Amino acid sequence: QVQPVESGGRLVQTGDSLRLSCVASGRPFRYYFVGWFRQAPRKEREFVAAISWSGNNTYYADSVKGRFTISRDSTKNTVYLQMNSLKPDDTAVYYCAATTKATIKAAEYDYWGQGTQVTVSS
């Protein structure tokens, strides 16, 4: 089993940048499709970005396209989410997750991290 562990969340201001990290323990990420999801107060959990480890293909939600970038470092078993031009609406708990399927649907992800809080003040 793969065990994602997120880090990097903190309080920032509107327009700031922040990079989140997701490190795999247990099995390496190369066997999985890895995604970032977020859940804001009073909102449902939503897809943010995903990456296929082997093919290095990336996928983004329309709300973050052009501002966020997902990437991987194979030698470190780590997936990054670079977030630029942050807005208050980006405030949420961000989760890293993995699945053996090629999907961006949260319900089809099997392995989840504990989440890291990102707060964007106005």
The separation between CA 5 and the C-alpha centre of its own chain, rounded to angstroms, equals 11
Query: pLDDT tens string for the chain (122 positions)?
Result: 899 999 999 999 999 999 999 999 999 998 899 999 999 999 999 999 999 988 889 999 999 999 999 999 999 999 999 999 999 999 999 999 999 999 999 999 999 999 999 999 99
Amino acid at 36: W
What is the predicted pLDDT for the residue at 54?
A: 84
Amino acid at 1: Q
Cα(3)–Cα(23) distance, integer angstroms: 8
Whether the Cβ atoms of residue 2 and residue 31 lie closer than 8 Å to each other: yes
Amino acid at 68: F
Token output for 38:
């977020």
